[in-house]
Chains A and B, each alone.
Chain A
Amino acid sequence: QVQLQESGPGLVKPSQTLSLICTVSGGSISSGSYYWSWIRQHPGKGLEWIGYIYYSGSTYYNPSLKSRVSISVDKSKKQFSLKLSSVTAADTAVYYCARWGLDCSGGVCDGFDIWGQGTMVTVSS
């Protein structure tokens, strides 16, 4: 069973870069059947999609964050990473990594079927 696990610093200073890693276990990150996404949730608020990466390395970002976001993949380690630059208190949130299915024959498609447990990141000096 595929599982996702986020890791990274829980505290980041303002103006610095937030860096998180999502590790995929129990399955392959190199399958062409999925987009690997980052999603965040501000405290007590709703969900916001940040961006995704395909196993080939192609990416797509939320236009509202595009200038500050970078997502990369390391297939050998079965990890994908998020970098968010020039952070402010407004970037304080729980950050989730999640999988979006593309192949309906494999189960859930066109939905985020697997999520990490989430990691809280606080931006504060």
Chain B
Amino acid sequence: QSALTQPASVSGSPGQSITISCTGTSSDVGSYNLVSWYQQHPGKAPKVMIYEVSKRPSGISSRFSGSKSGNTASLTISGLQAEDEADYYCCSYAGTTPYVFGTGTKVTVL
């Protein structure tokens, strides 16, 4: 099972919106509404930001939203803030593997 494909980096200015894509296949992202997203600051453990494609855990800002179309899931961060600068990883249930992560995206706030 190959890693899901994410852009290596995405950047935006404070207040702007950015979108991170996560492309898989019909065996993972395309087959299950079980995509989650994680934020990881340097030297820290990942933190779940979105689960089941578009649900936010308690305490996660509404500036974070998720969606999916076909084999591609997306994480949108609106009203970008300096504290959002981090690495972001998607994860999908993949049946036999059964969890596969994305390659990771570094978000830079300009």
Contact = CB atoms under 8 A, between A and B. Distances in A.
Contacts of A113: 48, 51, 57
A117 B44 CA distance: 7
A37 B46 CA distance: 14
Interface residues of B, number: 27
A34 interface: no
B101 interface: yes
Contacts of B3: 46
B51 A49 contact: no
Given A46-B89, A116-B45, A107 B52 contact: no
Given A108-B57, A112-B91, A46 B52 contact: no
A45 to B, nearest CB: 8
Given A46-B102, A47-B101, A60-B98, A110 B47 contact: no
Interface of A: 37, 45-49, 60, 62-63, 96, 100-101, 104, 107-113, 115-118
